[in-house]
Amino acid sequence: MPDLISQGFKFQFEIYGEGAYSTLLEEKVQSLGLGEYVKFKGLIEYSQISKSFDDADFFYRLWYNIVRG
């Protein structure tokens, strides 16, 4: 991100959902001075997911499942 910022690119990185590392990640973003570029949206209604996809220019899905047996 620092390279994009220094080159004058305008962007916003939105993070949806919540998890065990949410607070840590939010603190890290603030400590790096990236709060203007990274927005934490939290949980959204299932019906709003496709609108979020439609509004995005780029989408990356990170899916993490833990299976315990």
pLDDT in tens, 3-54: 888 899 888 888 888 888 899 999 999 999 999 999 998 888 878 877 887 7
Q: How confident is the model at residue 68 (pLDDT cuts 50, 70, 90)?
A: very low
**What is the model's pTM?**
0.69
Give one DSSP letter per residue of 3-37, joined into a string.
HHHHTT----EEEE---TTHHHHHHHHHHTT-TTT
Which residue do the tokens 């959902």 mark? 17
